[in-house]
Each structure stands twice: as C-alpha cells, then as structure tokens.
Amino acid sequence: MKKKQNTKKYVSLKKLSLFTGFLVVVICFSFGLYQTYAALTDSDQKRNEFRIGNFQTSIEEEFDPPMIFEPEKDYLKKVSIKNTGEQDSFIRVLALPVLTKKQPNDAVTLLPATVDGSNPVLSIDYNLTDWIDGKDGYFYYKKKLAKEERTTNLFTKIKMNQANITEEYEGVSLSFEVKAEGISTTKYAYRDAWWGSQTPTTKPLSDVENLLKNQTISE
C-alpha cells in the first residue's frame, strides 16, 4: 500500500516539475518578446522624432487683422514659409480665408469666403510664378527649400468684392487659417506623404509632380 502511495507522490512531483519548467520557459519567452517589442517601439519612436525634428517649417506672416473688413479696400497680408529644419524640404501650404460676423445675440456666423468662380467674394493676389495652385486646397512651392531659406510670399494682399456680396457681409471680420507642410526631398517622399503614393496624371498636380521629381535626391 505504501509503495503505491510513494509511486503516486513521485508521479505528482514529476508532473509538478514538468509544469514548473514549462512555466519558466513561457515566462522567459514572454519576457523575450516584450524586450523585442520594447526595442522596436523605442526604435520607431526615435526614428519618428528624427523625421519630425528635421523637417520643420515656420509660417512667416505680416498681417494686422482689421476690426471691420470693408469691401473694395486692399488689406496687406503677406505669407511665406521658412525651413527651420536641418534638411532640404518640399513645401505645400493651405491658406484658408475665414469671414465671420458677430450677431446681436453674440452668436458668430461663418460666411462664404470664395476666391474662385465667376463671382468670388474675395480677391487674393496669389503668386503663381513661384507657386502652383494644386486645386486640392494646397499651394505647392516650385523649388525645394534649403535650411534657413524662405519662400517668396504666397500672396501679399486681399480684398472683398463689393459687387459679389450682400448686406449680410456688412461688419464682417477677416482671419486666416494657414497650414504649412515640409517633406523630405528623397525619392519619392512627397508622393507618399501627399498623394498616397500615387503619381498624379492630370493638371495641375501633374505639373507639381514634373517639377519636384527632377529635384529629388537618392536615399
């Protein structure tokens, strides 16, 4: 009887030993995976920080927003972009005019601020010598921008057209939302970042493509 009990104890101890060994292996394997994941995550983070740190731009503006935006009057508004990073960059800019009007109940109404079409509310003297209007909301600078270099002005003045507005525009205020993007000049980073890795085949983006591709560098 004792022999059977000893045999059962031996089998139980053997199973416990095997389970413990398996558990140690699982823990070690999991720890190894965690270290690998941590290393990859840390590497990705540093790489992303490197890219962000080296393709920085600053928006250089000269603009004194009028309290009341009057029609048929030119207002000075200069916008250019400076490459504050360490490497050459291609630049595109989103510059969105915003017209708002405060109502008697203190609510703020957003009014159309069109710049295209047959009856534009606003006239803006876009510099289409050095920039291309991509018709996708962005203006693309034709040349790559070196470190500390600044673009020419995208535009310099803005006017509200009396003939194309109604009385609701009386007393409006003007502001601008400006967004600048800088991207590496390596082949073909701008396609990946701006156009989902696609090569545009229709104007005006195809014109942008033809200008930028000849200024790229190998990785």
Identify the CA nearest to 183 among candidates 174, 192, 175, 171. 192
With contact defined as beta carbons under 8 Å apart, do 96 and 110 qualify?
A: no
Task: Give pTM, 2 decimals.
Answer: 0.74
Residues 131-163 have pLDDT tens digits of 999 999 999 999 999 999 999 999 999 999 999
With contact defined as beta carbons under 8 Å apart, do 90 and 185 qualify?
A: yes
Q: 78 vs 18, 64, 142, CA distance in Å?
A: 76, 10, 18
Tokens 């890795």 sit on residue: 197
Residues 97-110 have pLDDT tens digits of 999 999 999 999 99
Tokens 């070196």 sit on residue: 146
Cα(121)–Cα(136) distance, integer angstroms: 19
Q: How many CB atoms lie within 10 A of CB 144?
A: 22
Q: Model confidence at 55, in pLDDT bands (50, 70, 90)?
A: low
Backbone angles phi, psi at 138, to 5 degrees: -115, 150
pLDDT the model gives residue 199 = 97
Q: Model confidence at 56, in pLDDT bands (50, 70, 90)?
A: confident
Q: Where are the domains of the chain?
A: 1-54, 58-213
Identify the CA nearest to 173 among candidates 160, 163, 183, 187. 160
pLDDT more than 90, % of the chain: 68
CA 133 to chain centre: 17
Written as one letter, the residue type at 8 is: K
List the helix and strand counts (H, then E) for the chain. Answer: 3, 9
Cα(214)–Cα(109) distance, integer angstroms: 46
